[in-house]
């Protein structure tokens, strides 16, 4: 059964007299445990698709079933709970709060989940250790490198143990070495059973995924399933 099931999804924006069809009848199923990259040029609709997959935006038409539930029937409270429990987000710009330490940033989603302070800080510390930042837990984002900030963001995305990770251009602000290290983390997470969906415009980053979905002009133009993955090392080590 598909954990994500889109049928004829459309998204239309109206700006004055101009109508933009950001998505034009997208049908897509992603199964539990897949590692899929959504790739396309700027303006292709890939970011709009990501926002709909992440329940950050609603489609104009079509059906989206997430883990068996019709997303259109969920109210705001249910949507917030879905995002908090089922989906972990990783963004290009990290989206860390600058006045909080790495530990506090990672623990933040647990506040909304009602976890007490002692438990959430302990869990956040474990997550930071898992991404190699145990010695940086008290550092603020400005005291961390780009790669370290993205590791903090990944640790935060995993804090509620969501089955799905959605990453929007996760290496866009990183150098090659840091990009490869971040992608190896995504590989390890996928090898341990999580569904990873990554939006990118970089073919070398998309090469880490087993499935590559090409988007252009609001449509899926190619859906490629690879027998061999170019990027992932294949080495599975413990991560969360």
Output the six-digit token pair for 39.
């790739």
Question: How far, in Å, CA of 74 to CA of 19, rounded?
Answer: 27
Does the residue 20 lie in any domain?
A: no
pLDDT at res. 113: 80
What is the value of pTM for the model shown?
0.90
Does the residue 162 lie in any domain?
A: yes
pLDDT at res. 236: 40
DSSP-based three-state secondary structure for 20: strand
Contact 39, 214 (CB under 8 A): yes
Judge whether residue 237 has pLDDT over 50. Answer: no
Task: Tell me phi and psi for residue 178, to 5 degrees.
Answer: -65, -35
Contact 150, 172 (CB under 8 A): no
State the angle between helix axes of 176-191 and 146-157 in degrees (0 to 180), rounded to the nearest 10. 20
Contacts of 183 (CB under 8 A, 6+ apart): 170, 171, 205, 208, 231, 232
pLDDT at res. 112: 81
Question: How far, in Å, CA of 75 to CA of 15, rounded?
Answer: 27
Does the residue 198 lie in any domain?
A: yes
Does the residue 209 lie in any domain?
A: yes
Mean pLDDT, residues 58-77? 95
Q: What is the pLDDT of residues 137-152, one digit of tens each?
A: 999 999 999 999 999 9
What's the total number of domains in the chain? 1
pLDDT at res. 235: 45
Contacts of 196 (CB under 8 A, 6+ apart): 34, 35, 36, 164, 165, 167, 186, 189, 190, 209
Mean pLDDT of the chain: 91
Judge whether residue 17 has pLDDT over 70. Answer: yes
Q: What is the pLDDT of residues 108-166, one digit of tens each?
A: 999 888 899 999 999 999 999 999 999 999 999 999 999 999 999 999 999 999 999 99
pLDDT at res. 137: 95
Domain span at residue 176 reads 32-48+76-225
Residue 156 exposure: Cα atoms within 13 Å on the Cβ side: 27
Mean pLDDT, residues 201-211? 92
Does the residue 125 lie in any domain?
A: yes
Q: Give the rounded percent of residues in the chain with a pLDDT score beyond 90.
A: 82
CATH number at residue 142: 3.40.50.300
């Amino acid at each position: 059964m598909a954990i994500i099931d889109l049928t004829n999804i459309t998204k239309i924006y109206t700006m004055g007299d101009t109508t933009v069809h950001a998505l034009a009848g997208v049908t897509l199923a992603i199964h539990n445990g897949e590692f899929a990259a959504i790739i396309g040029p700027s303006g292709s609709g890939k970011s709009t698709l990501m926002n709909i997959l992440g329940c950050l935006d609603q489609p104009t038409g079509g059906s989206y079933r997430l883990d068996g539930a019709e997303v259109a029937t969920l109210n705001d409270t249910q949507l917030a709970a879905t995002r908090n429990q089922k989906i972990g987000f990783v963004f290009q710009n990290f989206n860390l709060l600058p006045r909080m330490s790495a530990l506090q940033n990672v623990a933040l989603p647990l506040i909304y989940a009602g976890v007490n302070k002692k438990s959430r800080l302990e869990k956040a510390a474990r997550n930071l250790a898992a991404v190699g930042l145990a010695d940086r837990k008290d550092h603020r984002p400005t005291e961390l490198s780009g790669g370290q900030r993205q590791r903090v963001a990944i640790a935060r995305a995993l804090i509620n143990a969501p089955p799905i990770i959605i990453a929007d251009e996760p290496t866009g602000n990183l150098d090659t070495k840091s990009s490869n290290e971040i992608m190896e983390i995504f590989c390890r997470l996928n090898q341990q059973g999580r569904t990873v969906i990554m939006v990118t415009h970089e073919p070398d980053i998309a090469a880490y995924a087993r499935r590559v979905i090409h988007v252009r002009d609001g449509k899926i133009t190619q859906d490629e399933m690879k027998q061999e993955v170019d990027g992932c090392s294949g080495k599975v080590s413990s991560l969360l």
